[in-house]
Amino acid sequence: MTDPLGFAMDEATVSWIAESDESKQPSVCRILVSSDSGMRAVLYDSGEIEAGTHSLGTVLPIRLTPFTAYYWTVAVRGDAGDEAVSGVNRFETGRREVPFAADWITTPWEDRERHPLFAKTFELPEEKIASARIYVTGTDLLELYLNGGRVGNEFFVPGCVDTGLWMQVYTFDVTDRLKAGKNRIGAMMGNGWAKGRFGTFPDLNRPYTDRYGLRMELRIVCADGTVRTVCTDDTFECADSPILFDNIYNGEHYDANRERSGWTDPDGCGEGWEKAVLWKPEDFGKPEDRLSLPVVIKETRKPQAILHTPAGETVLDMGQNMTGWVRVHVKESAGTRIRLAYGEILQEGNFYQDNLRSAKAEYICICDGKERDVQPHFTYFGFRYVKLEGFSKEPDLNDFTGCSVYSDLEDTGSIVTSDERVNRLFTNTKWSQKDNFLDVPTDCPQRDERMGWTGDAQVFCRTASYHMDTYAFYTKYLHDLAKETLAQQGMVPNVVPGFFPVRTSEPGFEYGGSSVWGDAATIIPWTMYLHYGDAEILKRQYPGMQAWVEWNIREDGKAGGSHLRTTGVHFGDWLALDGPVEGGVYGGTENAYIATVYYCNSVRILAKTAGVLEKQKDEARYSALAEAIKEAFVKEYFSPNGRCVLHTQTAYLLALHFDMVPETMRSRIAKDLAARIREDHIQLKTGFVGTPFLCPVLTDAGEGRLAYDLFFRDEYPGWLYEVKMGATTVWERWNSVLPDGKISGTGMNSLNHYSYGAIAEWMYTRMAGIRSLDDAPGFTRFEFGPSPDSRLQFTRASYNSAMGMIGSGWERESGGTMKVTVKVPFGAIADVVLPDAQAGQVKTNCNGKAFAAEGVQAGDRTRFAGLAAGEYSFTYMPEPDENPESV
């Protein structure tokens, strides 16, 4: 995060990226921390220290205090002697452990569905204000207002968390919004994840509370150092808000005629206010400084067209499946009721919502006669199409603006190829990430679910971290996950935040512990470490990671201690096409097989994490356990010559990807995998578990052409089938829409579900060739080894890594020559592996000049190791393909 305000941090970790036209590597760096922006009151001076990997994350050795702003700079000197100094950066702590002076307040009403406004008028003397911050939390969603205007641009404050375990405190800077004399502060509240309906299991997902509760403290620091506070207490007032109804799934009903004009204007707040009452909520978690990134309107777009359907409907086509809402500029008379209904697809040319199940997904506004913009406050929709009702005139496209709403993430990755279908697929995977990264990594943004399924999150986390800078986003999600895991003695919930698992009263009830899903506890932190190189996330998550592994060990013990995972309820290879029931959700690969593979993988990750954190005893113990699990797995599922007892694509993929078999068996298993795919007529049969590894494993096993055959398939089942059918996001099912355009079912059928979009990781790492190395986290050293295919003329990719911008490309030039390019950022090292290349026939160039480099031949590939920062190109005539035809 850049210049964060009020975010939780036990310690402050800073990082930076340096660039140089002269140097290849940083030599020394110097970090200064000060209590003033002029960097005069120095709190810490590192002096010149060896640069090393400090840029990836350096913990500042200073004691953080509450309500305090810190300023820091970093200077870097390169190995050629050039120097650079950053601008002044800033971060400010929140409340930390300081208790609230504010009380909880609520409404005096018996009707708990009345949506409230809370407000108070207060006076300030004539004195200069140095800073003013609002610290706020609530039992559900809120918007803050001060002196007639909304505070900030964030939505869905105070975020999606299990409020039984913790509550986020948000901080807002309102220094420039206060004035001498009268001021008025207020909040509007609505139903969200805690008070409103949430979850797809109505018998378990009961609302956590039935009350609107607000706790807020305005802390004003005057120029002379004195502190004034305005706190929620029984001097606050409450009144009905214009919101008549809302929840996450069904939408919002808003009556503009009920607005209180100037309700936060100290001179015109109106009458009819009642006294708010004090409240002591029970069973709520401890308030903690926020971790959630801001949820904001990241993009806007105009509708592509206004459609008039065969059913006589007027429908906006946004041209893109997206998450958020449509902002409407209304010019209607008072009392006019307009309705916007949201859907993902048309059926027979008509508006359609049946795949949203019980979610009504509508916004209703009763107009007040004023020309104005309207949009919802506390709900969002997943949609491409919007049905318009109640408008008195033919709608004008210019009056509608699509607002794409998601967490404030930085875009870091791009891929462009010569095939527009491939480009569309790549774009679809990124859109599904945007649309489902709204505070929590959800499964879908449109139907009555929108939950943080742990399996979906871990399956996609590698792709997600190429697409965008996900470190802060996953830090919050992993904080939720660890809290819930530790509260359940190591059993990871299948959904995080889960709300129900830690408070259910059903005896023996367990809603968690599924393999693959629960393994998010280890896989996501390790992925963050590999991508960003900061071991602090491993340090924070280690207790939760260890708790999950130990829970698995206990489950193993319940079954006799065989080192196999045979107990529990598992989702298996979810939505695979080789299951016992055609069209069913369960795949054909035995659950115990999958669970044992992931059991071993989590134990291995924990062992490696222990090594990074210098926990030698844990490292030795878990390393030995992983070997024992692998040995038991091979004995149970493979013959001595490598024949697998399970003849499914996913079984072979997991054995190879997770290194679950001896080296002597790998060749046999790779051949059996390829044979299985050919038996399946070059069709994938994999589900959520096997699909992410399908193309990577084939490519690494020397079956790159077969991987591309599967990738380029534009009939069901295949990624490009969705593109051919007009998809603008990734579908939940391989056949969510049938070839005739009809939706395949309504029970569980999202058109915006990122799991199968994990193919984009293969596009980054194999097609484009940008691969991280486990022993060089943070891309301090990476491998560039593209795998071209004759069906593509070129591929160009970029990834803004923790070390800086990595660029890659390959292109078939006239005459058949291959030109490969790679950009290595300052401070990084690249190992370049050229396909179908002979070492002595490669022309090399660096920064526009020829340079001598010795390539090492390895089979049909040439390897150039240890290339320092620079822009390189390699030109050569590739060796002819011995098997030019697709299988």
Give backbone dihedrals phi and psi of 22, rounded to 5 degrees, phi first. -110, -45
- Where do the H-state alpha helices sit in 100-188? none
Whole-number Å distance between alpha carbons of 698 and 573: 18
Is 237 one of the catalytic residues? no
Residue 705 contacts residue 883 (beta carbons within 8 Å): yes
Whole-number Å distance between alpha carbons of 140 and 279: 15
Whole-number Å distance between alpha carbons of 72 and 88: 6
Rounded to 10 deg, the angle between the 591-612 and 649-657 helix axes is: 20
Rounded to 10 deg, the angle between the 616-637 and 591-612 helix axes is: 160
Distant-in-sequence, close-in-space partners of 5: CB < 8 Å, separation ≥ 6: 91, 92, 94, 133, 171, 172, 173
Residue count of the chain: 887
Whole-number Å distance between alpha carbons of 164 and 153: 27
Looking up tokens 């393909």, which residue turns up?
Answer: 881
Residue 819 contacts residue 826 (beta carbons within 8 Å): no
Given its phi and psi angles, is residue 779 left (phi above 0), alpha (psi -120 to 50 degrees) or beta?
left
Whole-number Å distance between alpha carbons of 887 and 883: 9
Q: How many CB atoms neighbour CB 843 within 10 A?
A: 11
Whole-number Å distance between alpha carbons of 459 and 886: 29
Residue 375 contacts residue 300 (beta carbons within 8 Å): no
From residue 184, alpha-carbon distances to 118, 121, 212 in Å are 10, 4, 20
Is 732 one of the catalytic residues? yes
Catalytic residue among 449, 536, 555, 703: 449
Residue 402 contacts residue 318 (beta carbons within 8 Å): yes
Q: Which two tokens stand for residue 121?
A: 């008028």
The count of C-alpha atoms lying within 13 angstroms of the C-alpha of 629, restricted to the half-sphere facing its C-beta, is 31
Whole-number Å distance between alpha carbons of 455 and 517: 4
Grouping H, G, I as helix, E, B as strand and the rest as coil, residue 315 is: strand
DSSP assignment of 223-283 equals: TTS-EEEEE-STT-EEEE-SEEEEETTTEEEEEGGG--TTTT-TT---S--EE-EEE--SS
Pair type for strands 286-289 and 166-173? parallel
Cis bond before residue 880 (omega within 30° of 0):
no
Pick from 335, 345, 399, 397: nearest CA to 369: 335
The conformation of residue 56, written as its DSSP 8-state character, comes to G
Pair type for strands 770-772 and 818-824? unpaired
- Where do the H-state alpha helices sit in 680-810? 691-700, 704-712, 719-724, 759-762
Catalytic residue among 288, 344, 732, 761: 732
- Where do the H-state alpha helices sit in 57-102? none
Chain-centroid distance, C-alpha 276: 38
Residue 207 contacts residue 195 (beta carbons within 8 Å): yes
Active-site amino acid positions: 449, 732
